[in-house]
Structure 1
Amino acid sequence: MTKTTPAAPKAPRRKSAANPPAPASPCPPGSHRERQREAKRNAVLQAAAQLFNERGFHATSLDDIAARLNVTKPTLYYYVKNKDEILLQCVSQGLTMMLEGIDASRAAGGKAVDQLITCMQVYARIVTQDFGMCLIRIGDEQLPPVARKELRRLKSAIDQEFRRLVADGVQEGSLAPCDPKMTAFVIAGALSWIGRWYKPGGEYTPEQVAAQCIDTLLGGVLRRADGALPEVKAPVPARRKKVSSA
């Protein structure tokens, strides 16, 4: 029998040093640059929102925004088209923050009254921040009709959510019987007004402001020994006197 000599193992192929394999990138090409650009664009919007809140929309120029950021005016055009677009993006940011916070509180579940309180806390906190404050102080009257319509649609979504939570709270017995529409208007109106008078660095923190306002809205201001709510009657409209012709 003839012995068969085992074949020698093949030597591994050496990779060319001239063309080493490229390391796998954790993110697609250009994403870092895009993130940097987005961060700078957000800085432009933040500075603009602060100036709009301090001086008003019409009294703020692109030169003012550029000076706040210590950049030249032409630099701004790399991130935004004009001042109208800046305002649109600022108020959109405020609305988006509110909607996302409200959606998160709804997704967390629980009783309607607990969800309502969480939504109120979200709303009150955001109107003390730059974009939320801009949404309240400047509003949407300065925007083009198409943008104004879209933003009012988003505002309506927030109002409808408050109405739903109030109605659910009444149904579950955690809230006193009331008109959900009127109650939602009162809640949103009271919390929105925080964005007009609140000043950062003042006597109260945003959390303290929110807590006190929400406690007042939920508990009222009248002291009731028996827990009964006094009836508030609407005034009877005065009759208009007829003016006799001469």
Structure 2
Amino acid sequence: MAGRTKPAARDKGAELRGFEAGFAAGQQQFDRGEFLEAARTWAAAAALLPETAEHRSNRAAIHEYMADAYERALAGSEDPELLREGLAPLDRYAEQLAAADPAAALPGPVVTVREDLRARLERLEAPPPVVEPEPVAKPEPPPARPPTRPWKGLAVGGGVALAGGVAMLSLFAVGFTRARARTKEFDDPARGCALSGPEGECAEIYSAGKSANTLAVVGLVTAPLLVGAGVAMLVLATRRRGQAQALTPTLGRGFVGVSWERRF
């Protein structure tokens, strides 16, 4: 700003003396590169003069200098407080000038810097964009379970028990047959076996007969239990299966019939 012509002053009253002192101090700060301090000093000096026709040229000049200082001081600034500070005196000047003379136009540098500061401030204070949450994938439904058949386990268990009972009957038959054969061999007069103290071949025949007899007893005792349990489970399974599927009488107007019903 070196070499700028200071605003003219006709009246050397207190207002003008303060204005001139503020203008000179701001000019020194500006020349030293202290742009923000110069802008603040000029804003304080401008506030000393009312917006009248007498002071209009002085106020226009100092606000141009102020706009230049704020533009240099806030170049690249992202501080909302500083941007509001620079915009406030320029907005106040525009309001006061419009109120005093609606036809008067703002100086071009004031308009340019004012619009730039306002746009930067609005950009900084704009709310952040709303980010839509990503849709949450719905879990896949579990696979449908096959229909249960409560009677099936009973049928399988009954079949196994019945087969076991048949096996025990076979064991009884084998054991009984072998025991009977060993008894005949032991009682054969040609061998002369004595029950009180069998020896040699008689002792072997006696031991084999005793083992065969044990098998027969085990088969005889176990077979009825397994057969009974198997038959009971098969009967129960048959009843439950019959409840799941049945013939149901159907009566209607003008007809009589049956329907096949199956439940799972």
From the two aligned structures, give the one with the greater strand fraction.
2
From the two aligned structures, give the one with the greater helix fraction.
2
For this structure pair, what is the TM-score category when the shorter chain's length is used for normalisation? under 0.3
TM-score by length of 2: 0.25
Instruction: Say which structure, 1 or 2, has more relative contact order (CA 8 Å, 6+ apart).
Output: 1
Larger radius of gyration, structure 1 or 2? 2
